[in-house]
Amino acid sequence: MTNPGLALLDDDTLWQSATAAFAARDWYDVHEFLEELWRRVPATERDPVQGLLQAAVCLYHFGNGNFAGARILAREAADRLARSPAHWRGIDLAGYLQRFQEVAAPLWQPAADLKPLQPNEAPML
């Protein structure tokens, strides 16, 4: 469940907080901020918000060795980001999608061959 205090933040503050959490690789906070933002944005902006949210959760799972969960979310995040505008809210989403897919590519290997993603390997916005 989302933190009820987030409902008090305006959309710009939520977005800035989400991008700061992305930079800090704090995937839980990215999820929280983007989930609240997703509830508010018009339908035309839901794919980029949910795509970034799913990418963050994928990176969290990948880093913790939950490769099955990371694999599912990688596919969903990539699909949503591919349907999103190339640039959105000052972010080069097309560039991020490319970097994300490069990092997620090992997830298609057998799980026995995978190693958890190191924090410094996560693609940044």
| Domain positions in the chain | 7-121
Query: What's the pTM?
Result: 0.92
* Percent of the chain predicted with pLDDT > 90: 86
Mean pLDDT across the chain: 93
Confidence of residue 7 (pLDDT cuts 50, 70, 90): confident
pLDDT of residue 2: 58
Question: Which of 17, 42, 45 lies closest to 31 in space, CA to CA?
Answer: 17
Contacts of residues 75-80 at CB distance under 8 Å and 24 or more positions apart, as own/partner, are: 76/51, 77/51, 77/52, 78/51, 78/104, 79/51, 80/47, 80/48, 80/50, 80/51, 80/54
| pLDDT value of residue 1 | 47
Q: State pLDDT tens for residues 57-114.
A: 999 999 999 999 999 999 999 999 999 999 999 999 999 999 999 999 999 888 788 9
CATH of domain 7-121: 1.10.3450.10
Partners of residue 91 on adjacent β-strands: 88
